[in-house]
Structure 1
């Protein structure tokens, strides 16, 4: 049977090259059972004319499909669907039935109801995206990342690419962390004290699960990263919020009987406050005297372009009471999902065993690609490029904020990529965010950062990691206008 040319259609806006899209279209038709073994494909000339592409594009797509055994070529007779293609079983559609299980009662919404900072999936289509933690394609080193990925896919790296490492991490990545990344934070560690994780979120979850038992007592910052509250609650711990000030978490306000303190000391989330060294040493002294542990999330260390950062809490730790978490999400790109934990060897041993039960280890190819990117100097070049761009954007933000008399509640003294803003007390920034979205402006309302029962609705965050510098003045003007309108 000859497959009619009208069976093929290329929708607009698809991803990949024309050749890749044609190859995918044919393969999907075969796998779905629409095209059967021995069916004859349209001629390359006929399909090219129908799709409005060059004949060579179709010929190359057919050639790759032959190599993949989806098609066979029979001399001058043309291309046919291969006899060896997988055939989908023909099941009759099963009518949908209502489940007799009360899933809401069974699951209890223990995980899905945890609040998080929301942003639209199509945020890149908005002209003024003042949202946090997203990568800017204009700054990213696509070419060298691609070369590192190809190197990690090479035959010499076959074992790293394909092997199940069980609980072990890529030794090349661990070596670079120990020799370059951690010393910048003042941390000296051995391989047995470091664990590679699927980003900082995974690192912090592992820490909460290992360090907290049901009925334990955790302290989180208020306002603070919402994930801390969720992870501690999932571990069955009691969570106490402690207010932050211009120096971050207040040590004097720590309650009695605490087991673990979670802090973003270097760059407090979301206020950007930096904990002074004197307060860091006071926190460590209190941990020794009152027998609690500290989990330090050093999530934006590299983005310090105004002046040098303070040493990490872990670097000051002489009693083995600090677990340090870091990530490449802000400095490379968030979709990479690679981070690390540093802590005493007994803790890392338990975290490694727990990680193995959940995901074994982060993908070897990702670890090795990142290791090459770091070791070849591309990472430092990327960070320097981001610092220079962020410094310009921050200056543009400061000028626009000042011009429109907006109030900054926290901007930090080391750099970073955002401002913590304060509106008039009567304003609800969630309502303001909805109004601004209609004008193409995305901001992050601040309510979600506050512990339940302590919410303040007149704060919001403006980030500049992914907005072009030329868009900042007009975007801030729209924010100011929306505030005046409320």
Structure 2
């Protein structure tokens, strides 16, 4: 199996020449067991383009690894991990960095001792559905998903279909996440540090229940994902909304008594702001000063069709302070309800026990179907197809918005599937949405994303994930015309 080029990252704080950094990156992947014997590496041209270095730099690094028997060359077939490469240890390795978190203090509730914004359901009937997070049936790979589901239902996978895992997960899905998904974000994790959830929202709920109590304080972005605010409210913890700017969450504005910080650094929800590397380091330092935990929601990172995304905040974490939330619901389809948590073992152990007391584990046949779809390469093909479509839809929408002088307040630096919009101050976007509804246009008013009693009324979100390219211009025209009629 070929190793995806997206799993290779040059760490921002690495030392040495580029050649040495590439050589070390590959050697560490082999020594850790992430790259296994016989697996094919990306071509020198493809890796050089991905890393933004010269091809000769990659070639020299490969040659050095070839001389040291880490790699082998098979004629015109390319480079492979050598059969004689050093084998990873057969014991469970310790963490590379010294844990700096006092988990007895950080975990707000213990469950190990236990016994055991709405969208219209008929959105697809609307001609201009500018709504976020719904699957486009014209892009989804129905045929291969069906084949994977049939394979998961077969006799060979009978135990995966019928067994009660109790508090465990499908090992094939966990392996794929550990060896392919997380390395794309610069993250290294063992199976004991990964937990499958029923989507990102379930992951956030589990995290909140484990880390927060009535006496603890959570800081969250403002505006933010509305369901997160509801989850925190239900936990009865103290909540401090922190207004974001063009670079996302400002670390200096986080209150000194904060215990848990919720953030979307790679693609802020809903403004689409991307947190620069300097601010990410400052956020980690601020959390270290406060002895706080950071919960990183890395939704929609797969929709980076403009350029490769920055490494996740978790990849910069040296003391186990970041809990990472990922999901396949946005990149596959929302009804799948499969997400995952990545964190230090003490945290994952408690989250696993809580999950077991509520739902045991996500259905085994769904996990196995997803594992097949991912490991057979269908997922990567789907992401590429979606990226191409999203790129074209974004271009058409930008032109339409510019033609009508509609103000874009936030757009994703790496891609994404929506624009965060600001209407003139006189416009109440709740009213605008009601007036557009009979015309077949769906938009998302922005008021629900903000905290407090004085929520701005003139923001809204326009997504292009669910609307065909050919209808975007006409839909934007209807929005602009309706705005002119509101006084």
Q: TM-score, normalised by structure 1?
A: 0.76
Decide whether the 8 Å contact of 1:221 with 1:242 is kept in 2.
yes
Question: What is aligned with 2:312?
Answer: 312
Q: TM-score, normalised by structure 2?
A: 0.76
Question: What is aligned with 1:346?
Answer: 346
Question: What is aligned with 1:457?
Answer: 457
Decide whether the 8 Å contact of 1:216 with 1:236 is kept in 2.
no
SS at match of 1:385: helix
Decide whether the 8 Å contact of 2:259 with 2:290 is kept in 1.
no
Matched, 1:337 2:344: no
Q: Which runs of 5+ in 2 are unaligned?
A: 1-116
Question: What is aligned with 2:440?
Answer: 440
Deviations along 1:86-136, one digit per CA (max 9) or x if unpaired, are: xxxxxxxxxxxxxxxxxxxxxxxxxxxxxxx12211110000000000000
Q: In 2, Cα distance between the equivalents of 1:383 and 1:197?
A: 21
SS at match of 2:439: coil
Deviating above 2 A after TM superposition, structure 1's stretches of 4 or more consecutive aligned residues are: none
Decide whether the 8 Å contact of 2:248 with 2:274 is kept in 1.
yes
SS at match of 2:369: helix
Q: In 1, Cα distance between the equivalents of 2:440 and 2:295?
A: 38
Q: For 1:115-264, what aligned pairs fall within 5 Å after superposition? A: 117-264=117-264
Decide whether the 8 Å contact of 2:204 with 2:325 is kept in 1.
yes
CA-CA distance at 1:159 after TM superposition: 0.4
CA-CA distance at 1:207 after TM superposition: 0.4
CA-CA distance at 1:283 after TM superposition: 0.6
Question: What is aligned with 2:385?
Answer: 385
Question: What is aligned with 1:105?
Answer: none
Q: For 1:422-441, what aligned pairs fall within 5 Å after superposition? A: 422-441=422-441
Decide whether the 8 Å contact of 1:132 with 1:417 is kept in 2.
yes
Q: In 1, Cα distance between the equivalents of 2:437 and 2:449?
A: 20
Q: In 1, Cα distance between the equivalents of 2:270 and 2:450?
A: 10
Question: What is aligned with 1:16?
Answer: none
SS at match of 1:248: coil
Q: In 2, Cα distance between the equivalents of 1:373 and 1:454?
A: 46
Decide whether the 8 Å contact of 1:174 with 1:194 is kept in 2.
yes
Q: In 2, Cα distance between the equivalents of 1:186 and 1:472?
A: 35
CA-CA distance at 1:389 after TM superposition: 0.2
Question: What is aligned with 1:40?
Answer: none
Deviates more, 1:184-193 or 1:117-126: 117-126
Q: In 2, Cα distance between the equivalents of 1:232 and 1:422?
A: 27
SS at match of 2:397: helix
Q: In 2, Cα distance between the equivalents of 1:453 and 1:318?
A: 39
Q: In 2, Cα distance between the equivalents of 1:387 and 1:485?
A: 36
Q: Which runs of 5+ in 1 are unaligned?
A: 1-116
* Root mean square deviation, CA, Å: 0.6
SS at match of 1:187: coil
CA-CA distance at 1:236 after TM superposition: 1.4
Q: For 1:44-59, what aligned pairs fall within 5 Å after superposition? A: none
CA-CA distance at 1:358 after TM superposition: 0.6
SS at match of 1:261: strand
Work out the number of aligned pairs and report it. 370
Deviations along 1:194-238, one digit per CA (max 9) or x if unpaired, are: 000000000010001001011210011111111221111111101
Question: What is aligned with 1:34?
Answer: none
Question: What is aligned with 1:292?
Answer: 292
Deviations along 1:180-200, one digit per CA (max 9) or x if unpaired, are: 000001000000000000000
Q: For 1:21-36, what aligned pairs fall within 5 Å after superposition? A: none
Question: What is aligned with 1:376?
Answer: 376
Q: In 2, Cα distance between the equivalents of 1:211 and 1:262?
A: 12
Deviations along 1:377-406, one digit per CA (max 9) or x if unpaired, are: 000000000000000000000000000110
SS at match of 2:270: coil
Decide whether the 8 Å contact of 1:221 with 1:243 is kept in 2.
yes
CA-CA distance at 1:346 after TM superposition: 0.3
CA-CA distance at 1:454 after TM superposition: 3.6
Question: What is aligned with 1:35?
Answer: none
Q: In 2, Cα distance between the equivalents of 1:227 and 1:284?
A: 25
CA-CA distance at 1:452 after TM superposition: 2.2
Q: In 2, Cα distance between the equivalents of 1:147 and 1:372?
A: 9
Q: In 1, Cα distance between the equivalents of 2:206 and 2:285?
A: 25
Q: In 1, Cα distance between the equivalents of 2:322 and 2:395?
A: 35
Question: What is aligned with 2:364?
Answer: 364
SS at match of 1:132: coil
